[in-house]
Chain A
Amino acid sequence: MTTETATDQTTEQPRGLDADPVISVRDLETHFFTDEGVVRAVDGVNFDVHPGTTMGIVGESGCGKSITAKSILQIVEAPGRIVNGEIQYRRQSGEAVNLLDYPANSGRMRAIRGGEISMIFQEPMTSFSSLHTFGNQIDEALKLHTNLSKDERFELAVDWLARVGIPNPSQRMHEYPFRFSGGQLQRAMIAMAMCTNPKVLIADEPTTALDVTTQAQILDLLQRMQEENDMAIVFITHDLGVIAEIADEVTVMYLGKVVESGPVNDFFDAPLHPYSRALLTSIPSMFTGSRERLPSISGSIPHPQNRPSGCAFHPRCQSFINGVCDIREPNLVSVNEEQDVSCFLYED
């Protein structure tokens, strides 16, 4: 059966963009110390996430978007290490803390990770343990983050499975993940992330592995959860269509750096950085004519180890200024009240 759900975000002002940010990332640098040398996967990233809104982080493979997300929760795998920066987080209690002051495996970080800040991952198939029943895995999260009794935890988990639209939830609690379809697993993962009532949900490409119809279900679900819980979402994707559907603000990354950030409407109406503009025109859309040539971006993404000098995008850039872009690195500067861009076209 089908339902129609209104997502009337365009008519009203997105909530909370004027409110104080719940997360402020400042000068974040996460490097990977490999045998071949240091890879600066995240190289000075700044952005704010406001309560009740969705921050979309856009970028292609190797741009550091997933590592940025993992850095927030301090779950970057070795040989990666956060070497610099601050992640200011306003706790449920109103107290502001720098998450990087807490060691990754400290009790305080664990209380936040999966509790106040939850994360859902790209591959629902590999994100669950295949050796434990689904019920056991969701119970683990609840045991860690709530003081509920066993029965209460079971009831809460069943309630969440029902809310994300999984049929026969109490029976499915006793089943192993292989019995779930991809879409069901992704919804189950959302239930698991949501059951601790987080203030911030980090979603790393949660719909990339799914079909469009399932993607629409998941986006719809995330938006409903956001409205009900006034939760902030950090949504990581390479799909600009998904950004157009759900983001309030956009941060575009290229090779570890933020190249542009601003409100979603400004990004689509007046993209500033040559990379953003090229991305927006080179992607096929259902709404352009068929059998037309697309303007394409020349070249491909450089290997992070062979980072081009100056602005990392300069070898592929249409607006490349010889002697400037290949020598100096541009800084992220404000162009107007809302939009920031890191490009010499906008520097004096």
Chain B
Amino acid sequence: MATETTQNGNDPKTLLDVRGLVKYFPIKRGFFRRTVGTVKAVDDVSFDINAGETLSLVGESGCGKSTTARSIIRAYEPTAGEILFRTEDGESIDLAQLSLTEMRPFRRQMQMIFQDPFSSLNPRMNIYEIISEPLLVHGIGTSDEREDRVAELLRLVRLRPEYMRRYPHAFSGGQRQRIGIARALALNPRLILADEPVSGLDVSVQAQVINLMMDLQDTLGLTYLFVSHDLSVVKQISNRVVVMYVGRIAEIGTPQELFDSPKHPYTSALMSSVPKPHPSQRSKRYVLEGEVANPANPPTGCYFHPRCPFATDQCKVEVPPLVKSKDGRYVSCHRADEIELTVN
């Protein structure tokens, strides 16, 4: 467990407060499907999201960022930890403790947007059926009211309401992603979990969807948990960023803090790996050697130590807790206060 986390648990601004979230997947082998090990996909992750902000989870593939988001919405059953969600009356409810029936009213308040706009829309349903399905499932409105709502949602995501009887194949990738956003908004959610929402789109279309998401946030007061491996997109959209490495949090900070003055050696390596936007900035490239640790068989101590240029003997045995550093940042590194890091 982290000794000190980012939380100020009673702050009414906090919409979601994740404490010590753990998700292990069993590895099963053989005829009797015996459990022979565990994949520690998410291993003691704590962070909070304020109402109206965008918090991003970033990291390389396999770092547990999607699993974290899916555990919050209980698409996966968390192995341990608390998921404190603030209701509209200001009460704090631990979602991890709820049964699936008890979870239903909270599902309305949290919706997901998926990565692939081609496989996340049912090709046999028209746009009206796709967007009104959440309303139908939750028994909201009459058929006429639902149609009005769908038209309103389509206008909100800048699609023409006349298109609602068309099928997904008639739309481009960017338009389909906007249909996915309209579906997520149908129930007036307070929290949107967006898992790589622009990664499947052409670069000339990404900006449209990012701008739309930021506009909707302003007009509807939405809160986003944004999962992405694309650091440029994350910088564009986030208020705060959680950097994950092999199921654990390396560092939390604003995009500017992480980019200008990273505290964790992994953050610094990650930021340095991003291609520079102009050929004149080609300089020394900082190349992180080796491979991401295997979450089924992670190294001892700090998971990053085999790749870390600053690792000491302490790093090899002791897991660094996520603590507040001298200048108020959250970082899990034994040497955070001693080492000077830059992004080059």
Binding site for B on A (CB under 8 A): 1-7, 9-10, 60-61, 165, 181-184, 211-217, 219-220, 238-242, 244-245, 247, 264-265, 268, 278-279, 282-288, 290-298, 300-301, 316
Contact = CB atoms under 8 A, between A and B. Distances in A.
Given A212-B274, A241-B275, A285-B277, A3 B236 contact: no
B219 interface: no
Which 3 residue pairs are nearest across A and B when measured between Cβ atoms? A241-B275, A296-B207, A284-B236
Contacts of A1: 289-290, 307, 309
Contacts of B236: 284, 288, 290-292, 294
28 contacts: A2-B269, A4-B287, A7-B285, A10-B280, A165-B289, A211-B292, A219-B285, A220-B287, A238-B202, A238-B203, A241-B276, A245-B275, A245-B279, A268-B277, A278-B204, A282-B203, A283-B206, A284-B206, A284-B210, A286-B259, A290-B236, A290-B238, A290-B256, A291-B214, A291-B239, A296-B211, A297-B208, A300-B174
A2 B279 contact: no
B287 A217 contact: yes
B287 A279 contact: no
Contacts of B283: 6-7
B204 A282 contact: yes
Contacts of B274: 212, 241, 286
Interface of B: 60-61, 172-175, 202-208, 210-211, 214, 229-233, 235-239, 255-256, 259, 269-292, 307, 309
Contacts of B204: 60, 278-279, 282, 296-297, 300-301, 316
B8 to A, nearest CB: 23
Contact of B269 (A213, A244, A268): A213
B278 A216 contact: no
Contacts of A278: 204
B203 A60 contact: yes
Contacts of B282: 7, 9-10, 244-245
Nearest to B343: A286
Contacts of A279: 203-204
Q: Which of A1, A6, A60 has the most CB of B within 10 A?
A: A1
Given A60-B202, A61-B202, A265-B280, A181 B291 contact: yes
Contacts of A4: 284-287
Given A216-B285, A294-B210, 16 more contacts: A1-B290, A6-B284, A60-B202, A181-B291, A212-B270, A217-B287, A217-B289, A239-B275, A241-B274, A244-B276, A245-B282, A247-B279, A265-B279, A282-B206, A285-B277, A290-B256
Contacts of B280: 10, 265, 268
A182 B237 CA distance: 28
A245 B276 contact: yes
Contacts of B175: 300
Q: Which of B207, B281, B291 has the most CB of A within 10 A?
A: B207
A241 B210 CA distance: 19
Contacts of B292: 181, 211
Contacts of B210: 284, 294
B203 A283 contact: yes
A285 B285 CA distance: 18
A3 B292 CA distance: 17
Contacts of B208: 296-298
A264 B276 CA distance: 13
Contacts of B214: 291, 293
Given A245-B282, A286-B259, A294 B202 contact: no
Contacts of A296: 204, 207-208, 211
